[in-house]
Structure 1
Amino acid sequence: MAQERIRISSDWGEVTAELADNKAASALADMLPLNIEMSDHLRQEKTGRLPSGLPDLPRQQDFSAGTLGLWSSGDFVIYYRDGRVPRPGIVVLGQVTGDVSIFDRPGPIALRIERVD
């Protein structure tokens, strides 16, 4: 898969991201465009439910600000701080190339995720 780019937009601003070269990221791209209600979790990430699950792949526990991840098969995550998650870890879906700090505020947010032409 070529480096597919996506746009993540909200009332707080927008960023672009490059999707990872894996089956889960490809399945996410096939769902686009999407609107997802995201909640703040642990003041390090925004999380929301996808309409259906993505393939499970090898996971990692460390993440950096801007990592797009998959917690369970249907839980989409945007990390806006560096950190580490407990086992089993996350499937990495991609990396934000813009300023992910726009999500670093408490409260829920509605996101629109779509392909970049």
Structure 2
Amino acid sequence: MAQERITISSEWGSVTAEFADNAATKALIPMLPLTIDMSDHLRQEKTGNLPSPLPTSPRQREFKNGTLGLWGPDHFVVYYRDGQVPQPGIVILGQVKGGASIFDRPGAVSIRVERAK
């Protein structure tokens, strides 16, 4: 699969990301475009629910600013800080180009995820 580029936009701005090549992203691409209501969690990430579960893929514990992840089968995460999660870890969905610092603010936000033009 060629690197699939997406745009994540909100009232706070927009960022471009590239999806990883795994079963989870292959299942997510046909769902696009998506609007996801995100809440702030632990002042390191925005999290929200996908409309349906994604297949599992290899997991890892570490993440960095801009990592797109999957926590549980339908829990989409945008990390705006570096860190790590407990076992079993997250499925890496992709990486925001240049980081996701636009989401580094308290409170909820609605995001739009769509294929980049």
Bin of the TM-score, shorter chain as denominator length: over 0.9
Which residues in structure 2 correspond to 1:24-63 (within 5 Å)?
24-63=24-63
TM-score by length of 2: 0.98
RMSD: 0.7
Unpaired stretches in structure 1, ≥5 consecutive residues: none
TM-score by length of 1: 0.98
Deviation, 1:102, is 0.3
Unaligned runs of 5+ in 2: none
98-107 or 10-19, which moves further after superposition?
Answer: 98-107
Residue number in structure 1 paired with 2:100: 100
Deviation, structure 1 residue 99? 4.0
Aligned length: 117
In 2, Cα distance between equivalents of 1:67 and 1:28: 16
CA distance in 1, matches of 2:90, 2:30: 20
- Residue 105 of structure 2 aligns to a residue whose secondary structure is coil
Matched residues in 1 for 2:27 and 2:108: separation? 25
In structure 2, distance between residues paired with 1:3 and 1:66: 16
How far the C-alpha of 1:98 sits from its partner, in A, is 3.5
Partner of 1:5: 5
Deviation by residue 1:29-84 (Cα, 9 ceiling, x = unmatched): 11100000000000000000000000011110001110000000000000000000
